[in-house]
Amino acid sequence: MKAKYHSGLLCSNEVTIRLDRNELERMINEELHRSALSVGVMVISELFEYEIAQICGERRKRSTKRGGYRYGTQSGYIVLGGQKVRIEKPRIRTLDGRREVQLALYNQLQQTSVIDKSVMRRLVRGVSCRNYRSVVETITGSVGLSRSSVSRSFIRATEARVAEFYNRRFTGMRMAAIFIDGVHFKGQMVVAAIGVTSEGRKIVLSVRQGATENARVCIDLLEELRQRGLSTEQNTLFILDGSKALHAAVEQVWGRHALIQRCQVHKMRNVRAYLGEELWSEVQSQMRTAYAEKDAARARKRLLTTAKWLDRVAPAAARSLREGLDQTLTVASLRLPDTLVRSFLTTNPVESPFQRIRSLTGRITRWTGEMRVRWCITGLMEAEQRFNRISGAKHIDKLTIALDRLGMASSRACA
């Protein structure tokens, strides 16, 4: 629901609610506070990485002077604006692996006096006027890091990182594939899109919240991507969860330039919904065998054989299996290397980060406004820093070549 504020009125295409000035200011201040909290966590994560680099050296660069090595992460918390905020605490071990190196910054940020409410107010002011440098300098100053100890280049880089949080654009980028999935999160549907660049890197594109995974939400998400620079004139592989609304939205915005792969895991879930346990184990085995086929024609034949058998014992399951069957084999028909094919068969790249977001927000009981979206964006942006390139990324050019070949064939057919 899109809303606009006019002289103390909250207006939308569905409802009009009269608000007094105090209530309106309270709502705006709450939203700014949530934004500042998200930005604060992001900057602090960058500061953790800065401290780790001083001990372990830069990532993927060997150093003879390092004093330890990275050892994953664990759940932790910091105190920000007078409240505990859960984060992923980075871990370091000594080179001999015998003991863990404590992060001085993490220990400091567990004290309530470091980033107090007065500092938080300055963060809110910085976010409200989009003065990201002020936000970064406020946090670094509050934890005792002077300009002499933190380089100007680091502050500039972090400032850019915060600005990117709100203003990320994709002009000139080629997305070979886009994963889109609707995920149930805290009583609402959140539709998220993650793209795969022509180098095989995964990047968070957009997040939208809606009561359901309806066509309007999906179309708005895709239109937003176009406005932010993604070309709808290049053939793109879309991996979708099977939603008819999402399917229709992709076809409306991308048109003939969209190649759709239905998530095989969602398809199996849909079929299972029509079967009892005594039948499901057999059908599951048959579907897995079919999806493991390297040749799309053979896989299709196996699935249709299973559907014919289901016609006799579970007709509803047979109809579910046949619905969109060919689109579950789209990637297999492109004749790509096996490692690359496996990367584009499911929407797991979207669902996996949400598992972590759910654990981080497990204790939050009151959700207001766009709070869900704020947490989802923050969590996905944090997860993005640890995204690996997709499996088979060295063959990603074969996908773009196959997509472009389909585009040329389509153009000749239209001519």
Q: Say how far apart CA 109 and CA 44 lie, in whole Å.
A: 9
Tell me what pLDDT residue 177 has: 95
CB atoms within 10 A of CB 238: 25
- Lowest model confidence (mean pLDDT) among 30-34, 256-260, 360-364, 384-388: 30-34
Q: Looking at per-residue confidence, does 301 or 19 come out higher? A: 301
Nearest to 180 by CA among 252, 249, 232: 249
| Most confidently modeled range among 189-203, 232-246, 287-301, 350-364 | 287-301
DSSP β-bridge partners for residue 258: 236
Convert the pLDDT of each residue in 386-398 to its tens digit.
788 899 899 999 9
159 pLDDT above the threshold of 70: no
pLDDT band at 2 (very low <50, low <70, confident <90, very high): very low
Q: Say how far apart CA 89 and CA 105 lie, in whole Å.
A: 11
Q: Say how far apart CA 297 and CA 303 lie, in whole Å.
A: 10
The share of the chain scoring above pLDDT 70, in percent, equals 67
Which whole number is the average pLDDT over 267-295? 93
Nearest to 240 by CA among 327, 318, 322: 327
pLDDT band at 131 (very low <50, low <70, confident <90, very high): low
- Lowest model confidence (mean pLDDT) among 36-40, 59-63, 206-210: 36-40
pLDDT band at 411 (very low <50, low <70, confident <90, very high): very low
- Which residue shows structure tokens 């996996």? 352
Print burial letters for 142-170: b (CB count within 10 Å at least 16), e (below 16).
bbebeeeebeeebbeebbebbeebeeeeb
- Which residue shows structure tokens 């937003």? 224
Q: Looking at per-residue confidence, does 78 or 390 come out higher? A: 390
Decide: helix, strand or coil at residue 186: coil
Which whole number is the average pLDDT over 375-391? 79
| CA distances, 383 to each of 173, 233, 237, 351 (Å) | 21, 29, 23, 12
Contact partners, residue 141, CB within 8 Å, separation at least 6: none
The one-character DSSP state at 365 is -
- Lowest model confidence (mean pLDDT) among 25-29, 42-46, 65-69, 150-154: 150-154
Q: Looking at per-residue confidence, does 124 or 256 come out higher? A: 256
Give me the chain's average pLDDT, please: 76
375 pLDDT above the threshold of 50: yes
Convert the pLDDT of each residue in 310-320 to its tens digit.
999 999 999 99
**Helix, strand, coil fractions of the chain, as percent rounded to 5:** 55, 20, 30
Tell me what pLDDT residue 283 has: 94
The one-character DSSP state at 336 is -
Asked whether 275 and 325 are in contact (CB, 8 A), the reply is: no
Which whole number is the average pLDDT over 207-216? 72
Asked whether 89 and 74 are in contact (CB, 8 A), the reply is: yes
294: left (phi over 0), alpha (psi -120 to 50) or beta: alpha
Amino acid identity for residue 131 in this structure: N
Nearest to 252 by CA among 298, 217, 219: 219
168: left (phi over 0), alpha (psi -120 to 50) or beta: beta
DSSP β-bridge partners for residue 195: 178, 203
Convert the pLDDT of each residue in 25-50 to its tens digit.
555 455 555 556 666 667 777 778 87
Amino acid identity for residue 24 in this structure: L
pLDDT band at 13 (very low <50, low <70, confident <90, very high): very low
H or E element in which residue 323 lies:
none
Tell me what pLDDT residue 4 has: 43
pLDDT band at 187 (very low <50, low <70, confident <90, very high): confident
Q: Is the CA virtual torsion 23, 24, 28, 29 positive or negative? A: negative
Tell me what pLDDT residue 170 has: 86
Contact partners, residue 147, CB within 8 Å, separation at least 6: 155
Q: Where are the domains of the chain?
A: 3-167, 175-414
